[in-house]
């Protein structure tokens, strides 16, 4: 049961990474208002806390929003942590 939960979390973090990457790509290239709206709806709940933390930190830059990039780093770390926990539980 433990392995299923950790594996589900790993998949969840991978999906979130893909959504954040889509958000970054659509910021660089114009895919239309509908695509922008959908990606913003999906990313906003996880991006806003990161933006708040960056706003009150040393990494606050006025020209570039670093929060999506930091979010990708955090999500990839959490994904690797889940993978490590799966390896520990399987005994490999």
* Residue 91: per-residue pLDDT: 72
The C-alpha atoms of residue 15 and residue 21 are separated, in whole angstroms, by 10
Neighbours of 56 (CB within 10 A): 8
* pLDDT tens per residue across all 92 residues of the chain: 888 999 999 999 999 999 999 999 998 888 888 988 998 999 999 999 988 888 887 777 777 788 899 999 999 999 999 999 999 888 76
Structural domain boundaries of the chain? 2-90
Residue 43 near residue 15, CB atoms below 8 Å: no
pTM of the model: 0.82
* Residue 92: per-residue pLDDT: 61
* Residue 83: per-residue pLDDT: 92
Residue 43 near residue 19, CB atoms below 8 Å: yes
The C-alpha atoms of residue 57 and residue 42 are separated, in whole angstroms, by 25
| Sign of the torsion formed by the C-alpha atoms of 50, 55, 56 and 60 | positive
């Amino acid at each position: 049961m433990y392995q299923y939960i950790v594996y589900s979390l790993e998949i969840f973090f991978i999906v979130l990474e893909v959504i954040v990457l889509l958000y970054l790509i659509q910021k660089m290239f114009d895919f239309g208002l509908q695509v922008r709206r959908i990606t913003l709806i999906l990313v906003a709940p996880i991006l806003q806390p990161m933006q708040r933390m960056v706003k009150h930190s040393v990494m606050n830059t006025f020209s570039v929003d670093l929060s999506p990039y930091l979010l990708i780093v955090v999500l990839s770390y959490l994904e690797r942590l889940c993978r490590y926990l799966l390896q520990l539980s399987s005994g490999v």
